[in-house]
Amino acid sequence: MSGLTPVRPRTIGEVLAGARARLRRMSPAEAAAAARRGAVLVDIRPAAQRAAEGEIPGALIVERNVLEWRFDPACDARLPMAAYDLQVIVVCSEGYTSSLAAVALQELGLTRATDLAGGFRAWSASGLPVHSPAP
């Protein structure tokens, strides 16, 4: 290994704990209130998962594999809304992948990025509005 410093292997649990230590995660009620004030709820679940579980009305769909490219204000593939001061609340199914994704956005300079604790399932269980999955 020429010039590379070996990295101590970490478990995904350790990586997740490190990511969450950087976030102020939001409850469903907090996320709904933030969205009413202008925060962007970003659903990163794949289409098949959204079809099976349902969707949050008004959430922006940006699948995980393109998230950083769509929100990096310096990227040619960015969304028009992409800005360093944008409050982004990332949503996945249960709140695991969203924590890692929110930290990836923070690494790009979106310091207000966070995630929804418990994900879509917590949102739905809390009684907040959802578009039900197709039968």
- For residue 11, tell me if it sits in a domain: no
- For residue 36, tell me if it sits in a domain: yes
Residue 117 near residue 34 (C-beta atoms within 8 A): no
Number of domains in the chain: 1
For 112, the domain range is 22-125
The predicted-structure confidence for 100-120, as pLDDT tens digits, reads as follows 999 999 999 999 999 999 999
End-to-end CA distance of the chain: 54
- For residue 133, tell me if it sits in a domain: no
**Cα 102 to Cα 113: distance, rounded to the nearest angstrom:** 5
- For residue 75, tell me if it sits in a domain: yes
Tokens (6 digits) for 90: 């990332």
Residue 90 near residue 42 (C-beta atoms within 8 A): yes
The predicted-structure confidence for 42-79, as pLDDT tens digits, reads as follows 999 999 999 999 999 999 999 999 999 999 999 999 99
The predicted-structure confidence for 5-28, as pLDDT tens digits, reads as follows 778 899 999 999 999 999 999 999
Q: What is the pTM assigned to this prediction?
A: 0.92
CATH number of the domain bearing residue 103: 3.40.250.10
- For residue 61, tell me if it sits in a domain: yes
